[in-house]
């Protein structure tokens, strides 16, 4: 796995040659401590490009610690990263700081001894800089020790992006996006008719099916208790909801829009970057997607005229989404690291610093886990960020935590891979594209079969974990007293007992 960090080796070589060459005294050079190189690996976009929020703090940190610590970041797409990190684990050659690969969580990594707790390598007040709820037992804290920290704040996974120019050109009010399904369908019809084969109502990246459940999750959030990190699962009942009337009706709405001709025809095979550009270049009016679509549109099509609003609901009700700040994935210090103190210094002073999170807001990437920064309007990079902030503030509430109720639920989720159960093929996104392309009215049958498989898979995982001696049941995934419009605070857990 040494091929992982050829760049890092080159950086060390340059640094060392700088210390030992020239006309200075050789004895003094020998007394100097060798510069330590810290290798960081992940697929997070905030490390993509020299002007990214992460690379900015890396550059500043390296300049500040020149001759002592040099941080080298290896960024790669998620699929490549997952393959590489698995090989690094097998070869016991993990980077000093690495991101959990897809299909794994912190609990698995800690259990296997691949990571060190960060507590002893960061300052005493490290945790205090974050919003309450950022560290949670069984999620990113194990046996009282923290292994990771939140990389972002509230993460709204479904919102309506609307192209104001497209709406205006079709004779619609660009400041009045659709609030109901009927309005979404009718506006899309008008836009498509006026577009004459060049402009359409709705676009989505059907070539990347995994996140497509976020579209339907958004369309139904006003009527089904929804946790944003668990599309298709209802924590109020402890059951999957893909076969619910609400999800079936939402899929039928999309089928109707397809029959109307209102969906951009290439949507079924588009990758996300392609869909982003087409939306920004005025080829479609509406795009239902997660919070990251905002900064990507701004990055790829800077002149795009767009804004955001809640996803339209069947009855026009205001949607709410549960959220958790503590995350099962994140960056950790490798147990293989020979320089955990230097890695901790980089995390404390750069990677998890207020400056890093200031950079993420200024780049428009996301909210942060530091409330005072989120509220600071002077940091907002463009006017749309105010809408972005308001949507998170108005739509998101602290949701129930399975892990807080029973840490053993994390073992069940690890057994599943994730609550989405992407191991069950075809996944929902594939089914949605099929139902739209085949144009058959068998939505109920397809989604009922899929839903049954997921509920059965969850129960099988629970039974398997129970057989290993852990005390866990489906009841631990069920929160009947959850009211999505309110924060699920500690007293709600007490009432459950």
Give domain status of residue 76, yes or no: yes
CATH code: domain of residue 37: 3.40.190.10
Residue 149 · residue 134 · CB < 8 Å: yes
- At residue 365, what are phi and psi to the nearest 5 degrees? -70, -45
- At residue 92, what are phi and psi to the nearest 5 degrees? 50, 45
The Cα 174–Cα 309 span in angstroms is 12
The continuous run of DSSP H or E covering 75 comes out as strand 69-75
Q: Of 233, 206, 246, 291, nearest to 421 (Cα)? A: 233
The Cα 217–Cα 157 span in angstroms is 9
Domain co-membership, 243 together with 273? yes
pLDDT < 50 regions, the chain: 1-3, 5-31
Domain co-membership, 211 together with 173? yes
Residue 357 · residue 369 · CB < 8 Å: yes
Domain co-membership, 319 together with 335? no
pLDDT given for residue 7 in this prediction:
35
pLDDT given for residue 57 in this prediction:
97
Report the chain's terminal Cα–Cα distance, integer Å. 49
The Cα 250–Cα 313 span in angstroms is 9
The Cα 382–Cα 385 span in angstroms is 6
Give domain status of residue 301, yes or no: yes
Of 337, 352, 381, which marks where a domain is finished?
A: 381
Of 354, 381, 408, which marks where a domain is finished?
A: 381
Q: Of 357, 351, 355, 354, nearest to 332 (Cα)? A: 351
Beta bridge partners of 313: 180
The Cα 245–Cα 229 span in angstroms is 21
How would you label 291-305 residue by residue, b for 16+ Cβ within 10 Å and e otherwise?
bbbbbbbbbebeebb
Helical spans, DSSP H, in 21-163: 26-31, 53-64, 78-90, 106-111
Q: Which two tokens stand for residue 309?
A: 């609003």
Domain co-membership, 185 together with 287? yes
Domain co-membership, 185 together with 291? yes
Domain co-membership, 349 together with 465? no
The Cα 223–Cα 219 span in angstroms is 9
Q: Kindly give, in sequence order, each residue whose CB lies less than 8 Å from that of residue 188, ignoring residues fewer than 6 positions away.
A: 200, 201, 202, 257, 260, 262, 263, 285, 286
Give domain status of residue 386, yes or no: no
pLDDT given for residue 15 in this prediction:
32
Q: Of 279, 218, 209, nearest to 247 (Cα)? A: 218
Domain co-membership, 418 together with 298? yes
Domain co-membership, 406 together with 263? yes
pLDDT given for residue 32 in this prediction:
59
Q: How far is CA 251 from CA 202, 244, 287, 290, 328, in A?
A: 14, 11, 16, 18, 30
Residue 200 · residue 281 · CB < 8 Å: no
Domain co-membership, 208 together with 318? yes
pLDDT given for residue 8 in this prediction:
36
Domain co-membership, 135 together with 15? yes
How would you label 405-415 residue by residue, b for 16+ Cβ within 10 Å and e otherwise?
bbbbbbbbbbb
Give domain status of residue 389, yes or no: no
pLDDT given for residue 178 in this prediction:
98
Neighbours of 457 (CB within 10 A): 17
Domain co-membership, 189 together with 136? no
Beta bridge partners of 180: 313
User: To which residue do tokens 């002077």 refer?
Assistant: 378
Quote the domain boundaries for residue 20.
Answer: 2-152+327-381
User: To which residue do tokens 């369908």 refer?
Assistant: 185
Give domain status of residue 210, yes or no: yes
Domain co-membership, 320 together with 458? yes
DSSP state of 340: H
Q: Of 107, 133, 103, 105, nearest to 404 (Cα)? A: 133
Helix (H, G, I), strand (E, B) or coil at 398: strand
Bridge-based pairing state of the strands 284-289 and 145-146: unpaired
pLDDT given for residue 417 in this prediction:
83
Tens digit of pLDDT for each residue in 248-306?
A: 999 999 999 999 999 999 999 999 999 999 999 999 999 999 999 999 999 999 999 99
Helix (H, G, I), strand (E, B) or coil at 274: helix
pLDDT given for residue 6 in this prediction:
40
Residues constituting the chain? 497
User: Could you give the number of structural domains in the chain?
Assistant: 2
Give domain status of residue 388, yes or no: no
Give domain status of residue 387, yes or no: no
Q: Which two tokens stand for residue 481?
A: 């007293």
Helical spans, DSSP H, in 281-383: 292-300, 340-346, 354-363, 371-374
Number of DSSP helices (H) and strands (E) in the chain, helices first: 20, 15
């Amino acid at each position: 796995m040494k091929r992982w960090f050829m760049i890092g080796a080159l950086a060390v070589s340059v640094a060392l040659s700088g210390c030992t060459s020239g006309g200075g005294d050789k004895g003094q050079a020998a007394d100097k401590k060798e510069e330590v190189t810290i290798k960081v690996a992940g697929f997070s976009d905030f490390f993509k490009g020299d002007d990214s929020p992460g690379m900015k703090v890396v550059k500043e940190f390296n300049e500040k610690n020149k001759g002592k610590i040099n941080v080298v970041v290896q960024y790669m797409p998620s699929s490549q990263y997952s393959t590489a990190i698995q090989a690094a684990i097998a070869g016991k050659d993990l980077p000093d700081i690495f991101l959990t690969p897809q299909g794994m969580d912190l609990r698995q990594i800690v259990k296997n001894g691949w990571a060190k707790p960060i507590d002893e390598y960061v300052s005493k007040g490290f945790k205090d800089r974050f919003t309450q709820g950022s560290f949670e037992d069984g999620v990113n804290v194990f046996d009282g020790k923290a292994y990771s920290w939140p990389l972002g704040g509230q993460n709204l996974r479904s919102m309506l992006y609307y192209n104001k120019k497209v709406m205006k050109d079709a004779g619609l009010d660009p400041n009045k996006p659709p609030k109901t399904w009927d309005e979404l369908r009718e506006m899309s019809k008008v836009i498509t008719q006026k577009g004459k084969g060049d402009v359409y109502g709705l676009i989505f990246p059907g070539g990347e099916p995994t996140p497509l459940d976020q579209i339907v999750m958004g369309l139904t959030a006003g009527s089904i208790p929804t946790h944003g990190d668990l599309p298709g699962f209802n924590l109020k009942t402890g059951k999957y909801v893909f076969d619910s009337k609400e999800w079936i009706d939402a899929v039928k709405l999309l089928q109707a829009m397809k029959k109307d001709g209102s969906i951009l025809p290439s949507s079924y095979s588009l990758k996300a970057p392609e869909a982003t550009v087409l939306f920004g270049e005025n080829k479609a009016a509406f795009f239902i997607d997660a919070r990251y679509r905002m900064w990507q549109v701004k990055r790829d099509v800077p002149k795009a005229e767009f804004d955001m609003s809640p996803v339209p609901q069947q009855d026009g009700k205001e949607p709410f989404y549960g959220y958790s700040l503590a995350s099962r994935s994140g960056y950790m210090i490798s147990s293989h690291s020979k320089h955990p103190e230097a890695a901790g210094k980089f995390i404390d002073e750069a990677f998890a610093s207020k400056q890093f999170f200031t950079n993420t807001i200024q780049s428009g990437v996301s909210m942060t886990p530091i409330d005072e920064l989120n509220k600071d309007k002077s940091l907002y990079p463009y006017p749309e960020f105010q809408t972005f902030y308001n949507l998170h503030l108005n739509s998101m509430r602290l949701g129930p935590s399975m892990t807080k109720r029973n840490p053993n639920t994390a073992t069940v989720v690890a057994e599943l891979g994730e609550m989405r159960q992407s191991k069950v093929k075809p996944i929902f996104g594939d089914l949605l594209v099929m139902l739209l392309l085949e144009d058959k009215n068998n939505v109920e049958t397809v989604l009922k079969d899929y839903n049954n498989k997921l509920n059965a898979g969850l129960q099988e995982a629970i039974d398997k974990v129970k057989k290993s001696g852990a005390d866990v049941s489906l009841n631990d995934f069920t929160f009947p007293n959850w009211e999505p419009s309110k924060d699920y605070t500690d007293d709600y857990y007490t009432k459950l007992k």
